[in-house]
Amino acid sequence: MDIQKIIDKLANSKEVGIISHLSPDGDALGSQLALALGLEKMGIKTILINKDFVPENLSFLPSSQSIKPLESFTNIPEVLVFVDCATMERTGYDTDDINTNKIFTINIDHHISNSNFARYNLVKNQAAATAEIIYDLLSLLQIKMDKNIATSLYTGLSTDTGSFMYDNVTPTTHKVAADLIKYGADTSKVRVNFYENMSRNKVELLKQGLSNLNFSVDGRIAWIAYDLKSFEELNLSSTDADGMISYVKNISEVEVAMVFKEVQTNLYKVSMRSKSWFDVNELASLFDGGGHVRAAGCTIKGEINENIKKIVESCQQIMMRGGF
Ligand code: 5GP
Ligand code: MN
Ligand code: MN
C-alpha cells in the first residue's frame, strides 16, 4: 500500500486535482470535497472534476458547486487523485482525456474490483466507504477536522452503508462516524437533504417501477426497469431512480435486486444489490461492471428485454451454484 508515498506526494504539491465517478454518489462527492477542504487547509490549491453534475439531494454538501467537468479547465494540476473509482474509466474519461504520461495519478478507493490503475494506489476493500479511508489520510496529514469536512465524510459513510445497515459496516465505520459527529458533522442536514427529500415526481417514478416489478426463482431475484420515456415524462434524470433499488431489496424473499435504467437510447445502467449471500460483484463482472459483494453495477447496450434476459439468466446460474 502506497499510503506514506501518497502523504509525501500530497504534502509536497502546490496544486492537486480530485476526480470521481460518473453519476456521483454521496461517497464520491463526500470523499472528494473532504479531501479538497483538507488539502486547502494545508495551503494546497485544489480543483474538483466530475463529468456528471451533482444531484440535487447532495447539493447541500459544502463547496459542491465548485465541481466542474474536465472540459471547463484549461490546465489540470500535475497530481490527480481519483476517489471512489474502481477503474479510470469510471470517471467517464479515458487516458486520452487524462494524459497519464504527464499526470501523476493517485487512486484512493474501496472497491473489491479496483484495478490499481494509478501510480500510487490506496485501495482498502474492507473500508465501508472511500470516506473512511480519506478520514485516515486526513488524520495522517495532521489536518484539523472541522464541521464541513466532518459533514462531507459522514455523508460518504452514511450513504455507502445504507445508514449503517449494510454488511460492509465494521467497528471502524462506527468509530469513524462517532469521531465525525464529535467534530460537528451535521447529521440532520444529511438526513433531511438526502433521505427525507423525495420529490413527488420521484414518488411517481417509484410507483411506476413498483407497478412493473418482476420476479424469478421464487422471488429470490426481483427487478424493475425504466426506459428514457419514464424519466422524460416526469422531467427526471436516471440518477433520480438511485434509491429505488432498496424498495426491491426490502421484499422478504428477495436476495438479488436489480434496477435497469435507460441512460441513452438502448444503453442501460444496471444497479445490483444482494441481501445476505449472493456476490453481485461476480454477476456485474460478467458484463464488464463491478463494485462490491452486496452492491455492484454495469452498463449494457442493446434491447432492454434481451439485456434483462441475459443478466437474469446469469444471475439464476450463479444462484443455482449456491444451492437454489
Ligand atoms: P450503483 O448501483 O449505486 O450505481 O452502484 C453500486 C456499486 O457498483 C458502486 O460501488 C459502483 O461503484 C459500482 N458500479 C456501478 N456501476 C458500475 C460500472 O458500470 N462499472 C463498475 N466497475 N462498477 C460499477
Ligand atoms: Mn460511489
Ligand atoms: Mn464508495
For residue 95, the model assigns a pLDDT of 86
| Residues above pLDDT 90, as percent of the chain | 94
Residue 113: C-alpha distances to residues 10, 155, 206, 289 (Å): 25, 23, 30, 9
Separation between Cα atoms, residue 265 and residue 10, nearest integer Å: 41
Residue 89 — pLDDT band, cuts 50, 70, 90?
Answer: very high
CB 26 less than 6 A from any atom of ligand 1: no
Per-residue pLDDT band at 231 (split at 50, 70, 90): very high
Query: Ligand 1 centre from 277 Cα, in Å?
Result: 18
Q: Which atom of ligand 1 is nearest to the CA of 84?
A: 12
Q: Please, are residues 156 and 131 in contact by the beta-carbon 8 Å criterion?
A: yes
On average, the pLDDT of the chain sits at: 96
What residues pair up with 300 in beta bridges, in sequence order?
A: 268
Residue listed under C-alpha cell 470523499 = 31
Alpha-carbon distance of 2 to 121, in angstroms, equals 6
Query: Does the CB atom of residue 299 touch ligand 1 within 6 A?
Result: yes
Query: Which one of the ligands is nearest to 274 CA?
Result: 1
Closest CA to 166 of 19, 24, 280, 29: 280
Q: For residue 291, what is its C-alpha cell?
A: 463494485
Q: Which pLDDT belongs to residue 101? A: 85
User: Residue for cell digits 444471475?
Assistant: 315
* C-alpha–C-alpha distance, residues 121 and 94, integer Å: 18
User: Which cell numbers hold the place of 244?
Assistant: 429505488
Q: How many CB atoms lie within 10 A of CB 59?
A: 12
Residue 30 is predicted with a pLDDT of: 99
d(Cα 78, Cα 135) in Å, to the nearest integer?
24
d(C-alpha 73, C-alpha 197), whole Å: 32
CATH class as words, domain 201-322 = alpha beta
Atom of ligand 1 nearest to the CA of 281: 8
Gap from CA of 22 to ligand 1 centroid (Å):
9
- Do the beta carbons of residue 142 and residue 158 sit within 8 Å? no
| Nearest ligand by distance to the CA of 291 | 1
Residue-wise pLDDT for 270-294, tens only, equals: 999 999 999 999 999 999 999 999 9
* Ligand 2 centroid from CA 175, angstroms: 21
- Number of C-alpha atoms within 13 angstroms, CB side, residue 47? 18
Could you tell me if 186 and 149 are in contact, meaning their C-beta atoms sit under 8 angstroms apart? no
Domain ranges of the chain: 1-195, 201-322
Q: How far apart are CA 58 and CA 257, in angstroms?
A: 24
Q: With a 6 A CB cut-off, is 156 part of the ligand 1 pocket?
A: no
C-alpha distances (whole Å) from 146 to each of 47, 182, 183 are: 20, 10, 6
- Per-residue pLDDT of 97-124, as tens digits, reads 988 889 999 999 999 999 999 999 999 9
- Pick the residue whose CA is nearest to atom 16 on ligand 1: 297
pLDDT at residue 324 greater than cutoff 80 = no
Is a pLDDT exceeding 80 seen at residue 78?
A: yes
Is the C-alpha dihedral spanning 98, 24, 87, 139 positive or negative? positive
CA of residue 35 to ligand 3 center, whole Å = 14
State the architecture of 1-195 in CATH terms: Alpha-Beta Complex (3.90)
